[in-house]
Every structure is written in C-alpha cells, then in structure tokens.
Structure 1
C-alpha cells in the first residue's frame, strides 16, 4: 500500500485513563499519554509491570477494559482492527518472534510476499511479474536501509541463519521486517534486553532515526533514553508517567475492591470456625433460634446442610464473577493468538 504524501506518515497516540484487567487483577490502569506523529515513546519499568500488555493494547492487539485511547484518530478498543492495519510489531516475544531456522533472506521474502498478498492494491496484484519483483526488491532494500542492516556484512550475507545473528543484528532484522509494510506506528518489546551499553546506544539511535523519518515508535525498555517521551509502569500497580516523569495516575487498586476481598476472607474464616456437627451445638442454640422471630426456616436449613437464601445469592454472585473473568481472559487470549498468526503469517 503506497503512502499518501499529502498525509502525515506517523500517527498521534493519545490515551486517557487507559486500563486492562486480567484474571488476577489490573495489569495496568489510569495510563495517560499524548504523543505527536513521529514521536519516540519509551515504555519503561521492571519486568512484570504490564509493559508488554500496554504495548499490545495501544497497537490494537489486546482489548482494554477501562478508559480509551486513540491512534491516528482511531478509538480503542472499538477500532482495534483498523489500528492493527496501520501498526506493525518489531520483536515481541511470543507474538512476532523470528524463526531461528530461517535465513535473513527467507524472512525478508516471506514478509514481502505476505505484505503483497494481504495489503497490496488490486493494481499491484495484476502487474507484470518482473515489475512486481522489482517493486518487492525496492521495498526490501528501503526497509533494510531504514533499519541499518547490511546483508553483505553478515557472516553468510543473506544466507545467514537467524540463530547466528547477534542480538543487535536480530533487532535490526525485526525492525526491517516491520518497516516493509510502511506502518504508521512501530512497536517493539524488550528493546534494550541483553544489549551492551554501546549496542543499546546504537539501538536507540536506530529508533530515533525511524521516528525522525515520520513513524511513531513505541518501545518497551528497562530504562528510557534521554529525550524520549516516557511512560513508567511499576510492578503491582501499573502507574504511568508523562515525558517529565510526573505520574499521571496512581494505578492503585480500587478501595471498594480491596474491602470486598477482606470481607470475603472474613466470611471464609467465620465459616471455618463454625462447628461442623450440628448436634455439638446443643439444644440451647436450637431453642434460641425457635424463639427468635423469622428464623425458623433459616436455622432449619443451616442444620440440615441446605443453602440459605444468602448463601444461594453468594453462589450466584461468584458464578457471575467467574463468568466475567473467563470472558475477559478469553477475549485477551483470542486477540493475542490471532495477532500472532497475523504477524508471522504461519498457522
């Protein structure tokens, strides 16, 4: 798909109160962001703090449950499919991994063929084979140049297997594969993982050059570089921050939810302490229940092992909560699986 020169190539990314909840609670919440087209956005924080999920949610690969975000004016989570069409993933473990058995050239040809098959115009599909081949080579060369990957400098040139690439070379290859589709947003995970200081500086210089060329870059890292628009996540609360590091949301758990959890624990403890044998309670407790107004049925049900109305209501509530959690989990898993197939093109 040819880029329209009359439109800005990059995409503005805006988030307000953005949050995603998983089966064990909030992964991140209250995220605020304002990024202009062509910005370099660093999502920093420790491992397990929701960085990758935030990256996937902002690119339409995971469905958020709170607040909203917009990418190039496309509102999330309503326009997730449209956002996926204008964004591309670089290296994201478990989603867009490189195949270690394939060579560099094989990866590039596969991505170019998939791009032409699914994103090409009808006019491009009916071109003469020689013209299509020339256009494909030009697009690959353009992506390699933007990613700073020189195939001739590799041990076996384009026939070098991915397993033989250095970490920085593999990162450049992943970026080149993503740029073949000329996306408006480029997203990367673990940008600075296992990189030396010199390689880390080269990686950030690469991403800055991509952003300067007009593509908005979202990069997960352990430490944001100087000059990047920074979002900071914290393990356990999913707090966020703006470019100056000032928090835009506490990300703390809802007090009402915490109180409900405590009440549930107290109820469980109370149920454990109650005598399991009704006969051990004595006849005095039975007499007291009979004298108390409106407790005949409840006491009888409790001693006979039946569920009281309150217990039945609790069971129904638990069943509803379990169903909602299951639905949320399935939505998240389905989005992740479908996007993994979409990125690799292999079932």
Structure 2
C-alpha cells in the first residue's frame, strides 16, 4: 500500500530553491533514506512529506497519519523529563486506541498503549523494535546522547500507530556501531508495517534503505544565501509532546 507519493516536489523562496524535483514513493513496510550534504533541504523535505511544511512545486499524496521522530529544533526530547516520563506522558495523552481504528494501528502500538499503567517503558521499546538499543528509563532528556534521542523519538512516534514515521539526521553525532544500530532499528520499524523515511548524510553499509539523494553538485544551486525557514504547518495539538495525526 502506497503511503507517500511525491512527484516533482519542490519548495522555492525568493532566495532560491530549498529542495526541488523530488520523486519519492514509499509503501508500507519500506525504509527510505534521504541523503545529502548539510543545507541540501533534507529536513524541510522530511517535514513536507509528513505534512508539517509547505511546498509550492509538484504533487504530494499521503495516506493516513504521520508521526515525527527526532527532528532538531522542531520535535525533541524535553530536557526536564526522564525517558520513562516521556513515554508515560505520551501514552496518557494518546489514550486507548478507539475500537474503530484498532485494525488500522500496528498491533505493537495497541499493546503498548494498553500497558501504560503496568510497564509502559518495556512495552513501548518492544513495540518500536528497540529492545537491542540501550536506553535508561531514568535518564533525563538533557543527558541523552544523539543516538538515544533518535531512539526515544522513534519509540514515541510509534506509539500513535501512524502510517508514516520520519526521523531527521539519524547519523548525527554517532560512531559506526551506533549508526549500524540506528539503521537496524529503522529497518525493524519498517518490518512492522510502517513506512519509514529518515534523513542522513549517508546510509550505513549493509542497510536495506532505498536511497534518495538531494542537493547533488550537478543540480543548480540555490541563488544567494541560505533560504529563510518558512513557517511550519502545525496541526492542533493538546500538549507539547503529543505527535499530531496528519490527515490524508
């Protein structure tokens, strides 16, 4: 089932292109990687695919809801909450999965949300396929390493049972073994039925991700300085840590 279909997608400001000519189709169960150098528009493109950023060229179709993992400056861990508190808060905000949606939500997400009063931390990690990645439930957001922030973001994203999960700069601040674990975690999420799109400077060798490179040297560069950041398109949320669901 196709979750995201982008054709000729582009965002242009008065100072030039942020990204352009992007063709990307992601189906349920697929892992995609958007690669490119800093300033190539990777973050803006991910947010556009998730319905949180505008575009003014091409076409974009998305089926179902999207959730953000770690996106620096947009969707990050609260420095004053522990990992366990992040998970408990998100589960309380989401509440139980309505009966009418249970067949549309991955089983792992349903189980995690049912378990929030018993062992939310273990259930959430298991549901996101992150049991092999060390994550201390008592560690505060301000103390998390870049890899731990990515893992927590993916765990929180999966709790809402979205069709699409996006995560930005998944290889930032990590060494080779950590990058291998992150890409393996992203692949396990895809195996659960999510469409997963992550951005990185490069994909770790051995990853099964379908790669889309933007900002290649042969492509026309933006005119002038780095384009300003357009206003985010933010669906209403009931609390700062809730991952809003994006309508198709």
Q: What is the TM-score when the length of structure 1 is the normalising length?
A: 0.57
| 2:104 alignment counterpart | none
Alignment of 1:261-340 (within 5 A): 332-335=230-233
- Inter-partner Cα distance in structure 2 for 1:179 and 1:40: 14
Other-structure match for 1:113 = 92
Q: Which residue of 2 aligns with 1:175?
A: 154
What residue is the counterpart of 1:62 in the other structure? 53
**Separation in 2, partners of 1:56, 1:339:** 16
- SS, match of residue 190 in structure 1: coil
Contact 1:185–1:215 under 8 Å retained in 2: yes
Match of 1:228 in 2: 209
Q: Residue 168 of structure 1: CA displacement?
A: 2.1
Q: CA RMSD in A?
A: 3.4
Unaligned stretches of 5+ residues in structure 2: 102-112, 244-248
Report which structure shows greater RCO (CA 8 Å, sep ≥6): 2
Measured after TM superposition, the shift of residue 13 of structure 1 is 1.9
Matched, 1:103 2:82: yes
SS at match of 1:113: helix
- Deviation digits for residues 12-33 of structure 1 (CA, Å, limit 9, x no counterpart): 3211111112342221111112
CA distance in 1: counterparts of 2:200 and 2:83, whole angstroms: 25
1:344 to 230, 241, 245: 241
Counterpart contact for 1:96–1:340, Cα < 8 Å: no
The separation in 2 between residues aligned to 1:341 and 1:22, in whole angstroms, is: 31
**C-alpha contact 1:28 1:251 (8 A) present in aligned 2:** no
Which of 31, 34, 59 aligns to 1:43? It is: 34
User: Could you give the per-residue CA deviations for residues 162-193 of structure 1, whole angstroms, max 9, x where no partner exists?
Assistant: 22333322221111111111111110001000
Give the direction of change, closer, same or farther, for the CA distance of 1:340–1:19 in structure 2 (3 Å limit): farther
Q: Which runs of 5+ in 1 are unaligned?
A: 1-7, 73-82, 125-132, 240-249, 262-328
**Alignment match of 1:136 (pick from 102, 116, 119):** 116
* CA distance in structure 1 between the aligned counterparts of 2:156 and 2:72, rounded to whole angstroms: 15
Partner-residue secondary structure (3-state), 1:174? helix
Which structure dedicates a bigger proportion of its chain to strand?
2
| Equivalence for 1:207 | 186
Gap change, CA 1:139 and 1:47, over 3 Å in 2:
same
Contact 1:18 1:69 in 2 (8 A): yes
From the CA coordinates, give the structure whose radius of gyration is larger.
Answer: 1
1:219 equivalent to 2:198? Answer yes
Contact 2:69–2:75 (CA under 8 A) maintained in structure 1: yes
Moved over 4 A (4+): 137-140, 250-253, 338-343
Q: How far does the alpha carbon of each residue in 1:46-67 deviate from its partner, in whole angstroms, 9 at most, with x for none? A: 1111000100001100111011
Deviations 1:115-155 (A, max 9, x none): 12xx853899xxxxxxxx8543476543311242579x65x
Separation in 1 of the partners of 2:20 and 2:154?
A: 29
1:148 matched to which residue of 2? Answer: 130
CA distance in 1, matches of 2:220, 2:94: 39
In the aligned structure 2, how far is the partner of 1:112 from the partner of 1:217? 21
Residue 197 of structure 1 corresponds to 176
What SS does structure 2 have at the residue aligned with 1:159?
A: coil
Higher helix share: 1
Q: What residue is the counterpart of 1:188 in the other structure?
A: 167
Task: Note the C-alpha offset of 1:160.
Answer: 2.0
Contact kept? 1:144, 1:150, Cα under 8 Å: no
Larger deviation: 193-202 or 102-111?
102-111
